[in-house]
Every structure is written in C-alpha cells, then in structure tokens.
C-alpha cells in the first residue's frame, strides 16, 4: 500500500527548499521531528478540501476499513464525536420538532457532553441496571424499551464500545433495533480501531453501526491525536456527503502533518502482516489473563487487547495495584478504586508481559488498603434541572464538592482517564451524586453560578 503523505513530506524535506512559511521552527530540529512537520504548502493538499495526497491516503484507509469513507482527524476521537453528532442533527427541523434528542448509554466520554451542548441536543440517558461509572451494557431489549419510552423520535442512538474496562456492547443486536426504528447507531469506538483487523472483524462498522470514531492513536501505532471518522455504506446519504464539513466545523485550520503522516504510514503497516501480529498479541494477553486467573485474580471485560483486573475482588484497590506495578516498572492505563486496566498492542515486548505477570503474582498478598464497601452506581438517575447547553454555557463557578448539594452541574469535571462524567451538565447534585463524587476522589465541581 502506498504512503502518499509520507512520500511527499520526505521529498519536501530532502529538497532543501527555503521554508518561508509556517511553522516557525523552519524545519530545524529542537525535538527531532521538526524537519517533517510542515503546513499546507503547494502539493501538501488540504485536510478539509483534499484532492491530492490526503484524498489518496484516506482512500487507502477507506479500503482497509471497508467503509463508505474513512475521514482523518488529527484531533482525536473528541473531534470526530462532535462531527458525528453534527451529522446526526443537521437535518433535524428544530422549528418543527423541537431540539434533537439522542439516546445515549450513560458511560459516555466528556466529549459527547460538550458536543451535545454545542449542538443543542437533549440527551435521554440509557440506565441499565448493571451500569457503573465506566461500563453501561445495553441489551437490545433495553434499547427497545428506551425507544418505546420516548415521546419524540431520537435523531440517533449513541453507545461507547469498547468501554474503558474492556466491556463490549452487542453492536450487531443494537444495530438491528436501530434499523427497525429507522434511527442511526453511532458508536464511540475510540478504544477499538484494531477490532477491524481481528479475524473475523469485530469493528462496529462491520457489525451494523451507521458511523463510528476510532482513536487510531489509542491502539494502533499512530501518534497521539490521530483518529478516524468512519461512515458506513448503509449510512444516510448526508453522512458521507457532509462529514468533511462537519469535521471542519470543529477542527483547527492547522492540522498536524506529523499526525497525518502517522495515519498514512499506519495504512501500510495495517495492510502488511498486522492481522497476524495482532492475533499473536491477543493470544499473549489471553495467556497472561489465564495465568493471572489461576493465581486468583478476577478479570473483567472481553476486549482482546485489554486486561482489566478487579482489584476490589482481590481485597485491595486499583490504586494499590497500580502502585505495585509502578514499582516493577510497569505503568497501567487506568486505575480507580475497583479496577486496574492494562492495554497491550503488538508493539509490546515479551518483557512487558513478563513484568506484569511477576509484579501481580498471586492474589493473596497484602498490597494495600482494602476498599471500603461502597455502591459505585447512582441508585436513581440524577434530576435534569437545566438543558445541557444552557447549563454548559451559563456562567459557572468552581466549588468544593461538600458545598454542592442542590447545585446544578455546569461543565462536568472529570479527569482523563476515564473522562466519564459522574454528574452531567444540567443535572442536580444530590446526596447520592455527592457521595459518588467523593468516592471517586472528586474534590471540586463546576456548577452554574447563582
């Protein structure tokens, strides 16, 4: 597979041309990567009006992912989520039907809430019984019931799969329900770009999603920021036709050519022996998982490249396990009171698996403070006191969580990872919300000013 963006930039770099254009480093290395960091000079194409090397490279990605079109972003899935929601709402007749409504699983990333505010969407949250902060498995039956409970037709259904703990939704079953209601299924597949290359593919687009975003940088060998917006061949016509405009609406006019080269180079890598390397890596993760289970660890999630350990079931906390791993020169992706998440990819070496195994060892040792029993879910959905947009864009103030009773959440304050709000914009802080924030270590919250 060719790499037109990389080839162009290499030629440009080698040509020795005088760079009387941005960026200001003029190709001189401070970090080392500057010689390959260019802007939209003649021949370099334009991300939001591509007709040359970017268009060719995106065609390669489109062929690899089997989509109607795969669009590049250099600003992460966060950017693609905003564009995806724009596509879902652009044909909405607000004057006739009121603000668009979206049905969304509650474990949505913060980018979803900010997009809903920017696009003035109402959110009807899906609250299945097993829901927790990071996971929210929605069955086809629950989705049908949620449709039935609405008084207006949603513009889309939005789910996150895989989730931060490696849980995966049954996209095929949800897609069937969405099709029966004639409503697009949008998937936050930020953690699952690689799913396309499993045999058989487990990528949302192949399973019936209308559109999805992938953070290429999270699981593929791509620089941070590299992401895809995939549109299915079965998506409404406006999705493919207008996705570029929707991305441009929210994107910088200075896309990173380093990230574009990285996405371009990834096409060649993925088209070569990546599926075999991926299968091998997934086998190694499965083996490590089985070994740790034999040692007494309880694991969560089904995602093939993630290892999620239930630290609470081992009588400790995720933080304590993360600390133990750190002492053994292993840095995890995520830890919370309950879980520790390790993310693997074919780029990991045998030593990485070995270190994790040795550091974790048998489960019956004392590696830290025991978790106090706590219900980590909200018993009832929070009260929506203001519309998402009004709350997000109103004047705000930052207060101690202890002072938040009865106040309305302005912008959800959640650190990344996992950037999943406990309380979302416009919702009231009640006793249970404050207790859960405290449990997750949230000390200050952003509320609508009085």
The encoded tokens of residue 110 equal 């913060």
**Which span (4-12, 135-143, 183-191, 292-300) binds ligand PLP, by CB under 6 A?**
183-191
- Say which residues have a Cβ less than 8 Å from residue 251's Cβ, sequence separation at least 6: 47, 48, 73, 74, 75, 79
The encoded tokens of residue 177 equal 């329900």
Figure out which of the listed residues 135, 215, 261, 384 binds ligand PLP, where binding follows CB under 6 A.
Answer: 215
The neighbouring-strand residues paired with 428 are 408
Q: Is 211 in the site for ligand PLP (CB under 6 A)?
A: no
Report the 10 Å Cβ neighbour count for 310: 17
Q: Number of residues in contact with ligand PLP, rule: CB under 6 A?
A: 15
Q: Is 77 in the site for ligand PLP (CB under 6 A)?
A: yes
Q: Is 76 in the site for ligand PLP (CB under 6 A)?
A: yes
Instruction: Report the residue number, 197 or 250, with the smaller CB distance to ligand PLP.
Output: 250
Rg of the chain over Cα atoms, rounded to whole angstroms, equals 23
CB of 214 to ligand PLP, least distance (A): 9
Q: Is 160 in the site for ligand PLP (CB under 6 A)?
A: yes
Residue 409 in contact with residue 447, Cβ under 8 Å?
yes
Figure out which of the listed residues 57, 60, 62, 78 binds ligand PLP, where binding follows CB under 6 A.
Answer: 78
Report the 10 Å Cβ neighbour count for 139: 15
Q: Is 227 in the site for ligand PLP (CB under 6 A)?
A: yes
Instruction: Report the residue number, 223 or 227, with the smaller CB distance to ligand PLP.
Output: 227
CB of 233 to ligand PLP, least distance (A): 24
The neighbouring-strand residues paired with 186 are 158, 211
CB of 216 to ligand PLP, least distance (A): 8
CB of 138 to ligand PLP, least distance (A): 15
**Which span (61-69, 188-196, 347-355, 361-369) binds ligand PLP, by CB under 6 A?**
188-196
CB of 134 to ligand PLP, least distance (A): 9
Return d(Cα 85, Cα 43) in angstroms, integer. 32
**Which span (56-64, 70-78, 199-207, 376-384) binds ligand PLP, by CB under 6 A?**
70-78
Instruction: Report the residue number, 10 or 224, with the smaller CB distance to ligand PLP.
Output: 224
Ranges within 244-303 binding ligand PLP (CB under 6 A): none
CB of 162 to ligand PLP, least distance (A): 8
Q: Which residue is nearest to ligand PLP (CB)?
A: 76
Residue 237 in contact with residue 37, Cβ under 8 Å?
no
Return d(Cα 302, Cα 304) in angstroms, integer. 6
Instruction: Report the residue number, 84 or 448, with the smaller CB distance to ligand PLP.
Output: 84
Three-point CA angle 157, 163, 166, nearest 5°: 140
Figure out which of the listed residues 329, 416, 435, 449 binds ligand PLP, where binding follows CB under 6 A.
Answer: 416
CB of 111 to ligand PLP, least distance (A): 5
CB of 74 to ligand PLP, least distance (A): 10
Figure out which of the listed residues 45, 188, 264, 336 binds ligand PLP, where binding follows CB under 6 A.
Answer: 188
Return d(Cα 324, Cα 331) in angstroms, integer. 10
CB of 356 to ligand PLP, least distance (A): 21
CB of 398 to ligand PLP, least distance (A): 23
CB of 225 to ligand PLP, least distance (A): 7
Q: Is 100 in the site for ligand PLP (CB under 6 A)?
A: no
Q: Is 419 in the site for ligand PLP (CB under 6 A)?
A: yes
Figure out which of the listed residues 50, 236, 275, 417 binds ligand PLP, where binding follows CB under 6 A.
Answer: 417
Instruction: Report the residue number, 57 or 160, with the smaller CB distance to ligand PLP.
Output: 160
Instruction: Report the residue number, 130 or 351, with the smaller CB distance to ligand PLP.
Output: 130
CB of 215 to ligand PLP, least distance (A): 3
- Contacts to ligand PLP by CB under 6 A: 76-78, 109, 111, 160, 164, 188, 190-191, 215, 227, 416-417, 419
């Amino acid at each position: 597979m060719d790499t037109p963006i990389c080839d162009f930039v290499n030629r440009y770099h080698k040509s020795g041309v005088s760079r009387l254009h941005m960026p200001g480093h003029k190709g001189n290395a401070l970090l080392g990567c500057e010689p390959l960091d260019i802007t939209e000079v003649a021949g370099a194409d334009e991300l939001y009006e591509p007709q040359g090397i970017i268009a060719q490279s995106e065609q390669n990605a489109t062929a690899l992912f089997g989509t109607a079109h795969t669009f590049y972003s250099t600003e992460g899935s966060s950017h693609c989520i905003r564009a995806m929601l724009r596509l879902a709402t652009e044909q909405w007749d607000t004057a006739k039907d009121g603000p668009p409504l979206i049905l969304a699983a509650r474990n949505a990333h913060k980018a979803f809430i900010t997009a809903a505010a920017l696009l003035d969407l109402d959110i009807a949250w899906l609250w299945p019984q097993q829901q927790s902060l990071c996971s929210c498995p929605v069955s086809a039956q629950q989705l049908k019931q949620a449709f039935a409970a609405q008084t207006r037709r949603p513009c889309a259904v939005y789910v996150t799969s895989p989730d931060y703990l490696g849980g995966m939704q049954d996209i095929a079953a949800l897609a069937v329900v969405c099709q029966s209601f004639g409503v697009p299924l949008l998937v936050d597949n930020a953690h699952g770009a690689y799913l396309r290359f499993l045999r058989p593919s487990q990528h949302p687009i192949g399973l019936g999603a209308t559109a999805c975003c992938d953070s290429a940088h999270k699981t593929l060998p791509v620089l941070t920021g590299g992401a895809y917006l995939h549109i299915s061949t079965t998506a409404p016509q406006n999705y493919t036709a207008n996705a570029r405009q929707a991305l441009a609406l929210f994107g910088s006019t200075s896309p990173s050519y380093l990230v574009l080269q990285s996405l371009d180079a990834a096409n060649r890598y993925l088209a070569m022996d990546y599926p075999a390397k991926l299968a091998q890596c997934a086998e190694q993760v499965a083996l490590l998982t089985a070994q740790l289970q034999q040692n007494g660890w309880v694991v969560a999630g089904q995602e093939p490249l993630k290892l999620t350990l239930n630290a609470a079931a081992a009588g400790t906390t995720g933080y304590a396990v993360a600390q133990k791993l750190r002492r053994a020169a292993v840095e995890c992706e995520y830890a919370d009171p309950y879980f520790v998440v390790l993310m693997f990819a074919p780029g990991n070496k045998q030593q990485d698996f070995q270190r994790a195994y040795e550091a974790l060892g048998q489960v019956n040792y004392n590696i830290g403070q025991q978790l106090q029993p706590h219900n980590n879910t909200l018993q009832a959905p929070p009260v929506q006191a203001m519309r998402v947009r009004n709350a997000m864009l109103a004047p705000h103030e930052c207060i101690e969580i202890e002072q938040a009773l009865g106040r309305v959440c302005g912008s959800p304050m959640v650190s990344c990872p996992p950037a999943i709000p406990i309380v979302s914009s416009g919702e009231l802080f009640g006793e249970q919300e404050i207790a859960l924030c405290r449990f997750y270590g949230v000390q200050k919250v952003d509320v609508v000013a009085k």
